[in-house]
Amino acid sequence: MENKSLGRGFREISNIFISEDSADDNGHPETALSDIMKQYGGEGSDLAENMREIEENVTVEKNISYQNTPDAQQNMINALCMHLEEGFRIKTIELLKTNTKCRPGRKQNKTEKITIFLEDEPDLAKM
């Protein structure tokens, strides 16, 4: 059975996205968008003319922890208020309450969990 070429090879295609020729300060490869456009027909190509907008999405996640001290609950409330004032919104709040009752020969632990959350907005098209 003979091997058929389906066009460009893996190495040639991957070089578009991963280039070892240049790297930024962190050692990550740099491939300029203009270099890609030149490779596919120059700056006057259909790719360059049809490209009107680039959308960039960045997600930042923070985990904030507090030492279990007598002031921890108040510090968490203060941090929550500060973030709300900065424009963040509440999606989910989880509350835990644990009670322990000790009697001679019997120990009872009761844990209550309350989750407060926003439901997704209803899809009006389905109604």
The answer as to whether 120 is a domain residue is no
22 occurs within a structural domain: yes
Domain residues for the domain of 18 are 10-49
Is residue 110 in a domain? no
What span, in angstroms and rounded, lies between the C-alpha atoms of 8 and 2? 17
pLDDT for 31 equals 58
Which H or E run contains 37? helix 33-39
Question: Are 98 and 108 within 8 A, CB to CB?
Answer: no
Q: What is the pLDDT of residue 120?
A: 79
| 109 strand-pairing partners | 100
Spatial contact of 22 and 30, defined as CB atoms under 8 Å apart: yes
Give domain status of residue 20, yes or no: yes
Q: Residue 21 falls within a domain, yes or no? A: yes
Q: Averaged in consecutive runs of 10 residues, what is the pLDDT profile of the chain (127 residues)?
A: 55 55 54 61 56 80 91 93 92 91 90 91 68
Map tokens 């680039």 to a residue.
54
pLDDT score at 114: 94
End-to-end CA distance of the chain: 57
- Counting the structural domains of the chain, the total is 1
Q: Can you tell me the distance from the alpha carbon of 95 to that of 116, in angstroms, rounded to the nearest whole number?
A: 8
